[in-house]
Amino acid sequence: MIKAKFCGVFIAALVLMALGANAQQFGGNPPSLKWNQLNDSAARVIYPLGMDSIARRLAGIIDHVKHSTQPTIGFKQRKVNIVLQNQLITTNGYVGLAPFRSEFYLVPAQNSFSLGSLPVGDQLAIHEFRHVQQFNNSNVGLTAFLKAVFGEGGQALGYGIAVPNWFAEGDAVYNETYLTNQGRGRLPYFFNGYRSLWAAGKDYSWMKLRNGSYLDFVPDWYPLGYMMIAYGRNTYGDDVWRKIHGDAAAYRTLVYPFQSALKRYTGKNYADYRTAALNYFKQQLVGPELKKGASRYKSNQHFIGNQEFPAYVDDSTIIYRKSSYKQRATFVERRGDQERKIRLSDFTVDGYFTYNNGKIVYASRRPDPRWTYREYNELKIVDVATGYQQNVTHKTKYFAPAFNADNSRIVAVDVQPSGKYALHILNAANGVLIKEVPNPNGLFYTYPKFYSESSIIAAIRKTSGNMSIALVDVESGKLTELTPEGIAPKAFPVLQRDTVYFTGTSGINDKLFAISIPDRKVYELQGDSLSNYIGNYQPAVSTNKVGWVSFSAFGYQLHQADKKDLYLKPFTEISQLPDFNIASLKNEPASNLITSAAPADTPAKKYPKFTHPFNFHSLVPNIDDPDYSISLMGENILNTLQTELSFGYNRNEGYKQLSFNTTYGAFFPYLFGRVDYTLDRRDYGFDANRNVVEVNWNETRLQTGIQVPLLFAGGRNYTRLTFTSSVNLSMNDVKQQAFRSSLPNYTYLNNSFTFNNQIAKPYQLINPRLAQSVTLSYRNTINSLSAHQWLASGTFYFPGILPTHSIVINAAHQRRDRAYSFFSNQLPFSRGYTADNLYRLYKAGISYHFPVAYPDAGFGNLLYVMRLRGSVFYDYTRGTDFYRNGTTFKADFKSAGAELYFDTQWFNQSSITFGLRYTRLMDEDLFGGNGRNRLGLILPLSIF
């Protein structure tokens, strides 16, 4: 039974991961948002009113490139629905199956090195549409069979197991690099992670590179995938991945289909190909100077942490943001070798802050409490001396704030949902808008700084993707470009008197530059202390010193140099970015094809919110012996209505169940309903002569209710509140007349409230250092039965002895009426015991959690173990009830034991945690088996 249950849960976990491997939010947009659509042959672009020009641009790009890119991935084409989200404050996008849909998040990132300087919509259209083509051309062979049987969920599962995620993202990054004159494949920043490993001599195993580590920095699969894809196209032709991808998705070889297909078309086994591809880039990206820079660290050094956005107070004092795998992000001040903690940082999008005259200003991320597709970026000011923080703005979308000379004003980038960008000048005392700088050319501003009260310095992006450092007139918005415009990214300008220091891309590295504002001459900063590091970012300048951060295998590390040890070399803008000798990027006919794309001229139409409301997409089986079920899942494109139609069978009783449930999330409360019809229920009772007879009946259960999910994620805490209320009707059709009174119809109310609160959890911690989870529930009948049940349950998390340890305390109390026990037992009973639904139940427990080991090892590209972690626990439950003769029943249920959890990755991309539990019962198990020693399997779980 345990084996069947584990297999069932494991399969269900893989299916759910295949269905949920995207960023969509249910019911995330308010009902006031109105939608239009552009409906072309390849894509239906669905967008909020007011975004017509952006939608037409994206639809035009997709239509323009779709045929030119098919020969490299396949010619199957199925229309996709693309939803443009404009209320968030991050850049992102995804394409998912079950249902087949895509979303674009259209706020540009301030850091132009991370994603490039092309318009965010252009890049998303190219990158995400490549995923559409990948999914369309995965509908072959065994994957197509799984889709035919199980729908899009079956396709997602088959594709996810056969084709690695590095292929999907690497191929999409190659596409954005091929179709534009930029793309991440031309940005040195994109390769910094792997450069840092190679420079430090970190020869990690393939499975570690694929799955990551809790101890060491490991880059994600985007650069890994790009290097694998680019090397293959360069060496074996532009159609090699179409062949490999098609054979793998079809499972032409059932075992290791992708590896077999790669060998079939390249002649190299998987390991040899990986080595050749990575070595190709390693030879170009890592020289002796970078190895010299990495030699300052110990050979066995694990990840240290990040030191970012330095700012000088004076020559001997510097402020920066510090974070690690064990510690939350903190503003710190360093004087000499002594660090002083100023204050923990609130949640941010990018960690950026600026400092002036004893004050820090930064933008803090705050989601809307109810609508998960709507977020804000609010300005905060921190007093460095006291750590006191002041909230300056509320419900704004500001980025990259900076003070003027006397801290009376703040300049920040304002990004509106309409796609309008502007520089706002605000009163620093109260956040009131003083001036919106005109932006007649539709520029996107990054990292603005006051040069004077009448002019702003900023790194600006044009709609072509070209960038420059420019002086912006506050009154007119007129631009004076201090550097020639070019496609190479620029960022992090900082001023000292009449000189602007900034970081820019030059060749295969990101370097420090300086501009003399009066004569507009550009210089590259050079010196021995600058040449040994991987990228030189975020410059800070004092009277006699220059500081900056560089990337390493151990995090972003802060460096400083005396100005006298640096020199300035005249610099001329480079017109092109490096292609790292990938000749296939220049192949016609699609190279840089985006330049000739025109906006779509398709007529815009209203998109009704109830278009295809059910949109059934997947058939999902579930095996949880003795219960077996299969569910038909549905979800509309705007993600406001979810439906499930299911059939279940119970092997023990032989009953069958038909169910339909649905949730509508477009209103402030969710509206939900459920209908269950169960055939052939059976039990045993006594007839009038006290003979045991079988009782048979059918059940009908109806439920309708509301739920209000709220998230308050301001400052440094996540707080979730959920209110749920439902009316439930149970009707029983008992076949034997004599037993109808024992199974009456009844109606009950179910009301619950949950409260979850936690501080941010650093990557390596098992549990949050401080967190609380409380549930209150009350269920009661509203007819003559007068049955009720009350439950209060709470779990509380506290720090342990070491930063990665934690103490978890839980307590619960449940009580019900004396006469009936209609409601199932919900109390978390002492571990190891068989629970019963007693009249009164009291529970208290404590556990201590700690890491055991970090194996960072696996086998066969199937199972990878990142961490072993353990806990020891003690549980105490007290139960009371009443016998038929009126006497009182009382019993204690005490247990203690240990748990061992395995944090694993399956198929190099699917996270599953499971564990083993040993429990020693200190009291008799009155309602279950014999013996005091229990060993059990802990099935996939998660913490709120």
Q: Are 816 and 788 in contact (CB under 8 A)?
A: yes
Backbone torsions φ then ψ of 860, nearest 5 degrees: 60, 15
pLDDT of residue 445: 98
**CA distance linking residue 158 with residue 893, whole number of Å:** 46
Report angle CA 895, 897, 898 to the nearest 5 degrees. Answer: 155
At 357-401, the pLDDT tens digits run 999 999 999 999 999 999 999 999 999 999 999 999 999 999 999
- Mean pLDDT (whole number) for 861-879: 97
Q: Are 943 and 767 in contact (CB under 8 A)?
A: yes
At 146-159, the pLDDT tens digits run 999 999 999 999 99
pLDDT of residue 744: 83
Share of the chain above pLDDT 90, in %: 83
Share of the chain above pLDDT 70, in %: 96
**CA distance linking residue 911 with residue 902, whole number of Å:** 10
More confident residue, 592 or 4: 592
pLDDT-derived band of residue 6, with 50, 70 and 90 as boundaries? very low
| Block residue for tokens 């094809």 | 593
At 291-309, the pLDDT tens digits run 888 888 888 899 999 999 9
The average confidence (pLDDT) of the chain is: 93
- Mean pLDDT (whole number) for 608-629: 91
Neighbours of 381 (CB within 10 A): 20
pLDDT of residue 588: 65
Q: Are 360 and 319 in contact (CB under 8 A)?
A: yes
**CA distance linking residue 656 with residue 677, whole number of Å:** 8
pLDDT of residue 4: 43
- Mean pLDDT (whole number) for 691-717: 90
**CA distance linking residue 877 with residue 927, whole number of Å:** 14
At 407-420, the pLDDT tens digits run 999 999 999 998 99
Backbone torsions φ then ψ of 431, nearest 5 degrees: 75, 10
pLDDT of residue 3: 42
pLDDT of residue 939: 80
pLDDT of residue 586: 85
Which CA distances in Å does 128 have to 43, 94, 259? 12, 6, 25
- The pair of structure tokens assigned to 217 is 């920095």
Q: Is the pLDDT of residue 8 over 60?
A: no
pLDDT-derived band of residue 943, with 50, 70 and 90 as boundaries? very low
**CA distance linking residue 817 with residue 649, whole number of Å:** 32
pLDDT of residue 319: 98
**CA distance linking residue 668 with residue 477, whole number of Å:** 41
Q: Is the pLDDT of residue 572 over 90?
A: no
At 634-684, the pLDDT tens digits run 999 999 999 999 999 998 888 999 999 999 999 999 999 999 999 998 877
What SS3 class is residue 47? strand
Residues paired with 794 in a beta bridge: 774, 811
Q: Are 528 and 561 in contact (CB under 8 A)?
A: no
Ranges of H-type helices in 726-837: none
- Mean pLDDT (whole number) for 83-98: 95
- Mean pLDDT (whole number) for 218-223: 97
pLDDT of residue 59: 96
Q: Is the pLDDT of residue 541 over 80?
A: yes
At 593-616, the pLDDT tens digits run 888 899 999 999 999 998 999 999
At 9-60, the pLDDT tens digits run 455 555 545 554 455 689 999 999 999 999 998 999 999 999 999 999 999 9
Model pTM greater than 0.85? yes
pLDDT of residue 573: 72
- Mean pLDDT (whole number) for 881-899: 89
pLDDT of residue 213: 97
For residue 404, which of 422, 428, 421 has the smallest C-alpha distance?
Answer: 428
At 504-531, the pLDDT tens digits run 999 999 999 999 999 999 999 999 889 8
- Mean pLDDT (whole number) for 196-210: 96
pLDDT of residue 941: 52
pLDDT-derived band of residue 901, with 50, 70 and 90 as boundaries? very high
Q: Are 259 and 499 in contact (CB under 8 A)?
A: no
Q: What is the CA radius of gyration of the chain?
A: 31
Q: Is the pLDDT of residue 687 over 80?
A: no
**CA distance linking residue 905 with residue 376, whole number of Å:** 34
At 411-445, the pLDDT tens digits run 999 999 989 999 999 999 999 999 999 999 999 99
Report angle CA 332, 335, 341 to the nearest 5 degrees. Answer: 25
**CA distance linking residue 66 with residue 83, whole number of Å:** 18
pLDDT-derived band of residue 786, with 50, 70 and 90 as boundaries? confident
At 222-279, the pLDDT tens digits run 999 999 999 999 999 999 999 999 999 999 999 999 999 999 999 999 999 999 999 9
- Mean pLDDT (whole number) for 448-452: 97
Least confident range from 280-289, 494-503, 568-577: namely 568-577
For residue 54, which of 602, 600, 606 has the smallest C-alpha distance?
Answer: 600
**CA distance linking residue 273 with residue 231, whole number of Å:** 9
**CA distance linking residue 540 with residue 536, whole number of Å:** 11
Q: What's the chain's length in residues?
A: 944
Which CA distances in Å does 760 have to 215, 454, 763? 19, 40, 9
Q: Is the pLDDT of residue 759 over 80?
A: yes
Q: Is the pLDDT of residue 791 over 80?
A: yes
| Block residue for tokens 């404009």 | 86
- The pair of structure tokens assigned to 924 is 């008799």
Q: Is the pLDDT of residue 892 over 80?
A: yes
pLDDT of residue 944: 33
Q: Are 485 and 462 in contact (CB under 8 A)?
A: yes
